[in-house]
Amino acid sequence: MVLNLSVYFAVFAISAGMMFLYQRISNGIHVRGIVREKGISTCVLYLVSGCLFLFPIIAMYGLRYGIGTDYFSYEEIFNTLHATGFAEYWEKYNQGINIYYVEPGYYLLNRLFPSYRTLLWGIGILIFSLFFLGIKPYAKNLSFSFSLYVFLATQFIYSMNGSRFIVALCFVLLGYNALIQNRSIKFVLFVIAAALFHRSVLFCFAMLFLKKYKHKGINNTRNIALFAAIMFFPFVGGIILRIAGNIPFFSRYFETSQYTASETMGGGFAWLLHVVPVYLPLLILARKEIFNSEDTKVLFRICIMEIPFRMLGLYNTWYTRFSRCAQIAQFIFIPLILQKIENKRNRVIMYAYYVLWFIFYFAYYAIVNDGGDSLPYVWVFSK
């Protein structure tokens, strides 16, 4: 098992090293004025060069075979959708016919690429292009390599199981960047774009409540309401699910036995393992760094929404995927906070802690949560 995991960690380490070089080169180019910091051509160059630097991890995504719980299901979906015109797809999608019941954005990807193999490569490039766009506003304020490491440790295995959902989450992350800038309309547009790949992310509209308001009183009231909502979620979670189940847009999920919520919350505290070791050290040792700027305060509010989303999993384990709507912000939030710690010794200790924690987290998720479905890694040349 250790050997199987080491394949992933080796590629992660190589990719993190490449990201370190990429950030040094990218920032150096802008400092010297070799290219403009803004503009479409600059953005395209940034994305293309970034994906070239991340070729090892993109190749790992694109060359896999049978890796991911739904690998062969998605292959069957590709074989069907690739040969289906939009009018026929749309008719059968609205009828709820299972193999056609994927969102329009994912349908278009299946039509765009000529084979399932090229689709995997295309999705890998899309995921990491969105990753680069997500960290771009913070190029001088966080470590690209550490940000990538957090993203891979928390999302990479899942990305090979739920490719539609992870693409949607990356669009949501761009929406969070807009929310930090108080650009509410842009946030809404990014969530709508995300829903073109997985409609369940429409729940993220609730995050609009977490932005900064002009009046201090409104912000304080919101913070109290947020804390109360988290504390009392075990008492209202079932009510929220019943309301969602009566909304026609989501009814199909709740009418399917796999996604049906139980009447009461289940027991267990394993979900705390995903939350407490991540946020408690920051609250104890880096509280000032969290609350001394608006961007990290907004990101913190988004991240702690993982708590109620994790509790949803006590009604049905499938619902734990909603926790990723908050968790996706970690790969920006944690590196931003660590980079702000002024005491060098404390900063090194915190980096070491999170490196070790995410090694454990990745292993725990791959072996326990994922049931070993992604172990060992198998690539297309060995089938």
What are the boundaries of each domain within the chain? 2-382
Tens digit of each residue's pLDDT (9 = 90 or more) over 45-66: 899 999 999 999 999 999 999 9
The predicted model gives 198-214 an average pLDDT of 93
User: What Å distances lie between residue 156 and 124, 312, 356, CA to CA?
Assistant: 10, 22, 17
Tens digit of each residue's pLDDT (9 = 90 or more) over 141-161: 999 999 999 999 999 999 999
Which pair of tokens denotes residue 111?
Answer: 């039509």
87 vs 85: CA distance, rounded Å: 6
379 vs 324: CA distance, rounded Å: 27
Among 33-37, 162-166, 243-247, the least confident range: 33-37
Cβ-proximal residues to 158 (8 Å cutoff; 6+ apart), any chain: 165, 166, 324, 365, 370
Among 155-159, 229-233, 311-315, 345-349, the least confident range: 311-315
pLDDT at 13: 97
227 vs 133: CA distance, rounded Å: 31
Please indicate whether residue 25 or residue 15 has the higher confidence score (pLDDT).
Answer: 15
Q: Is 64 helix (H, G, I), strand (E, B) or coil?
A: strand
- pTM of the complete model: 0.93
124 vs 155: CA distance, rounded Å: 12
Q: Is the pLDDT of residue 245 over 90?
A: no
84 pLDDT band, cuts 50/70/90, is: very high
Q: Is the pLDDT of residue 363 over 50?
A: yes
The predicted model gives 339-346 an average pLDDT of 94
* Mean pLDDT of all residues belonging to the chain: 90
Where b means 16+ CB within 10 Å and e means fewer, 234-273 reads eeebeeebeeeeeeeebeebbeeeeeebeeebeeeeebee
- % helix, strand, coil for the chain, step of 5: 75, 0, 20
90 with 102: CB under 8 angstroms?
A: no
pLDDT at 28: 74
125 vs 84: CA distance, rounded Å: 24
36 pLDDT band, cuts 50/70/90, is: low
pLDDT at 205: 94
